[in-house]
């Protein structure tokens, strides 16, 4: 079964949390231990990504052993918004490598990238400009991203979760054309850390349809919302609500700040 077919399975989350997993390999370019695993379910193959807590690399600006918790919180916040941007993600106490998160593997269409690097003048229709740069050979290039509603939601989602690492490769398009956001281990920090490639709308008004969903999220979170709060520290929960309220006041895509690098490196 494809990832799109699994998404229709009524017990997908339960299967991700309990199916017997076999490790196929490790994603070698990931910063933390990231395993691609498979399970045999009713004669069909279920593929997933597992990130064990024990495989987290210590970071100076995030508490130890919390990155996989943030992955779960990001999924739950995406669900609360009704955007379903993050692939189904669950907590496992008995996964390969011990406790950690398990997420549905997305069958990606590599030819449908939402973030691209192009030569000057090679702008793609339906894409917006982010920045001018040089490649490794010193030749001029431009970073661009798709100007779609899905990408706009991811850009605002990153504002809400304070994503410190939205690389181009963290925005996937599956074989059915659906857009997904992955890799949310460095999110929900108390200090401002937004670092993303999705700056194409910086300073522009946020679409009202997006703001309507953010208003509903504000009501859903209230003073307590266990699905998200249980994975975060007390101050992180409060600052999340502060970011929601700030966006509701400003109603614009933010501008890059000066206290933190605005673009992740590498970009992909």
Please indicate, yes or no, whether residues 122 and 224 belong to a single structural domain of this protein: yes
- DSSP of 82-146, one letter per residue? T---SPPEEEESSSTTSSEEEEEPP-B-TT--SEEEE-TT-PPTTEEEEEEEE-TTS-EEEEEEE
Q: Average pLDDT across each block of 10 residues of the chain; the chain has 268 residues. List them in order.
A: 93 96 89 93 95 92 95 98 98 94 96 92 88 88 95 98 96 96 97 96 97 98 97 98 98 90 84
Domain interval for residue 198 = 115-250
CATH number for the domain harbouring residue 92? 3.30.200
What is the reported pLDDT for 203? 97
Instruction: Judge if 203 and 120 occupy the same domain.
Output: yes
Q: Is the pTM of this model over 0.85?
A: yes
At 95, list the tokens.
């996964």
Same domain, 100 and 58: yes
Environment class of residue 226 by beta-carbon count within 10 Å: exposed (0-12), middle (13-18) or buried (19+)? exposed
- What pLDDT shows up at residue 105? 97
């Amino acid at each position: 079964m494809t990832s799109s077919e699994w998404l229709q399975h009524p017990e997908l989350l339960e299967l991700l949390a309990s199916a017997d997993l076999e490790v196929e390999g490790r994603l070698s370019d990931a910063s933390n231990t990231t395993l691609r695993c498979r399970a045999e379910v009713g004669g069909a193959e279920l593929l997933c990504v597992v990130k064990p807590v024990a495989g987290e690399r210590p970071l100076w600006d995030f508490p130890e052993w919390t990155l996989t918790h943030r992955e779960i919180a990001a999924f739950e916040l995406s669900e609360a918004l009704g955007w379903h941007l993050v692939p189904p993600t669950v907590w496992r106490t008995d996964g390969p490598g011990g406790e950690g998160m398990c997420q549905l593997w997305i069958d990606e269409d590599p030819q449908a990238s939402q973030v691209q690097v192009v030569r000057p003048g090679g702008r793609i229709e339906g894409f917006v400009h982010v920045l001018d740069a040089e490649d490794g050979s010193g030749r001029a290039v431009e970073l661009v991203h798709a100007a779609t509603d899905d990408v706009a939601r991811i850009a605002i989602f990153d504002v809400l979760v304070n994503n410190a690492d939205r690389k181009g490769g963290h925005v996937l398009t599956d074989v059915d054309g659906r857009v997904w956001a992955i890799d949310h281990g460095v999110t929900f920090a108390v200090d401002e850390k937004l670092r993303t490639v999705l700056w194409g709308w910086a300073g522009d008004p946020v679409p009202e349809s997006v703001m309507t969903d953010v208003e509903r999220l504000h009501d859903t979170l209230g003073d307590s919302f266990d699905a998200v709060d249980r994975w975060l520290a007390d101050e992180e929960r409060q600052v999340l609500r502060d970011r929601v309220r700030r966006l509701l006041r400003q109603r614009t895509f933010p501008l890059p700040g000066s206290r933190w690098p605005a673009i992740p490196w590498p970009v992909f």
